[in-house]
Amino acid sequence: MLWERLRPEAAAEFAEDARTGLVSYRVRVVEFPLAPYLHWELYGLKIRAEYGEHIRVVGSEAVARYETGGVVVPELIFMGDQVMYEICYDETGTRYGGRKFTDPELIKGCLADVHALYAEGEDFLPFFARAVAPLPPPVVEPEVTSSAGS
């Protein structure tokens, strides 16, 4: 699997993080049945967890309280309590950039919500062993495209 070929890069990344004192935390929302992309991504997160990223899993019901009036919980990255980035995606789900926030009160509130989600989440590796490892590999249907001249 592709993820296994990337294992040395993950090992190097987390060794460097440990050397510099950087600690990574992640909350991943997981819905069942797993979409093929999410199923595949979870194998990559497994490797990251094995090398030291602190990952917890919550179900969609955990974020439902934030998703009212058509609002979808954004993907956020925090640089301590000083800077927060919202990762932006287009209508096809392709990442196209991000927005930077430096308002201390906004960051404080968002961090508190993420900490609460992290606290109620399940540790990733036991979750993976219980809910993902027993599943057959993800299947992705080939994309059908039209060819010029066909």
Residue 138 lies in a domain: no
Of 55-59, 128-132, 133-137, 142-146, minimum mean pLDDT range: 142-146
Total-model pTM = 0.85
Residue 149 lies in a domain: no
Q: Report strand pairing: 95-101 vs 83-89.
A: antiparallel
pLDDT at 149 (0 to 100): 55
pLDDT digits (tens, 9 = 90+) for 21-67: 999 999 999 999 999 889 999 999 999 999 999 999 999 999 999 99
pLDDT at 30 (0 to 100): 97
Confidence of residue 124 (pLDDT cuts 50, 70, 90): very high
The length of the chain is 150
pLDDT at 41 (0 to 100): 93
Domain encompassing residue 52 = 2-131
Residue 142 lies in a domain: no
Residue 127 lies in a domain: yes
Q: Report strand pairing: 25-30 vs 54-59.
A: parallel
pLDDT at residue 145 tops 60 = yes
pLDDT at 139 (0 to 100): 77
pLDDT digits (tens, 9 = 90+) for 87-110: 998 988 889 999 999 999 999 999
Residue 32 lies in a domain: yes
**% of the chain residues with pLDDT over 90:** 75
Q: Which of 118, 109, 111, 126 is CA-nearest to residue 58?
A: 118
Tokens of 80: 């301590």
84 against 146, higher pLDDT: 84
Count of structural domains, the chain = 1
